[in-house]
Structure 1
Amino acid sequence: MAYTFQVTIDSAEPHVLADWWADALGWEVESSDEAFIRRMIEDGRATEEDTTTHRGTLVWKAGTGIRHPEGLDRAPRVLFQYVSDAKTVKNRVHLDVRTGSDDPKAVVERLIAKGARHLHDASQGPYTWTTLADPQGNELCVSH
């Protein structure tokens, strides 16, 4: 049996980081269903402390996801979940961002301008890539 999966990224500010990654990938942040959240609070299934406001919208404090604009059949969902502890070591898993026909150097420059940090450039045979850290320190690689 084959399984599906989502990628989950721990974050001190999941909604802010989801916005950054959605912009970086050209993906979409999942919309928040404020009516559903309010109903869960009214029914006693959640509390006000389980929520926060992001960009003027009521959202779950625990996090949010982003999706490829063509849906889950195109690429797995990425979930950004709140954690209180800070990142302290290198990620054991990271995303490799393939730029397709876009110039990877231009993509790297754009991501750095939006808060990424350059870590190093590398190559192996004909392949080259740049390793960056997102605004919260999570590593990612950018290549063709």
Structure 2
Amino acid sequence: MAYDFQVTVDCTEPHTLADWWAETLGWTVEPQDEAFIKDMVAKGYATDDETTHHNGKLVWRTGAAILHPENGRRLLFQFDEAAKTVKNRWHVDVRVGAENRDAERDKLLARGATFLWEASQGPHSWFTMADPEGNEFCVS
């Protein structure tokens, strides 16, 4: 039996990182229902401390998700007060094609990514980079 899944990234700024990755991957930020959030607070199921404002909208403080535009796959960015301190045990590979790799690296650098190193194996090569919170990913 196959299971559906989502990938979850712990981070200190989930809404900001969701925006960054949505733009990087061409995905969309999953909307949050302000009326529902206000209703949950009004009914005592949540507190104002569990909410915040991002881009002028009321959102849950603890997380933001992005969605693949065609298949609905989801990446969740979940609040964790501890900043990243060690290397990822696994990471995302952004495959743009060898002819687009340099230009994509430069666009990502301009948007706050960090270049870490270039590597290759046989005829394949890639850049290892880090997103604005230091999570490693590769561009190939």
TM-score, normalization by structure 2: 0.96
More displaced, 134-143 or 37-46? 37-46
Distance 2:139 2:133 in 1: 17
Deviations 1:93-138 (A, max 9, x none): 1100111586111111100100000000000011111000000000
Distance 1:117 1:104 in 2: 15
Q: Which segments of 5 or more consecutive residues in structure 1 lack a partner in the other structure?
A: none
Compute the RMSD of aligned alpha carbons: 1.2
Aligned counterpart, 2:122:
125
Q: Which segments of 5 or more consecutive residues in structure 2 lack a partner in the other structure?
A: none
Structure 1 residue 13, shift from structure 2 partner: 0.4
Aligned length: 140
Aligned counterpart, 2:83:
86
Aligned counterpart, 1:104:
101
Aligned counterpart, 1:58:
58
Identical pairs, percent: 58
Q: Which amino acid aligns with 2:100?
A: D
- The answer to whether residue 18 in structure 2 is matched with residue 21 in structure 1 is no
Q: Give the direction of change, closer, same or farther, for the CA distance of 1:61–1:123 in structure 2 (3 Å limit).
A: same
Q: Which amino acid aligns with 1:12?
A: T
1:62-73 correspondence to structure 2 within 5 Å: 62-72=62-72
Distance 1:100 1:23 in 2: 18
Distance 2:36 2:110 in 1: 36
1:15-54 correspondence to structure 2 within 5 Å: 15-54=15-54
TM-score, normalization by structure 1: 0.93
Distance 2:119 2:90 in 1: 17
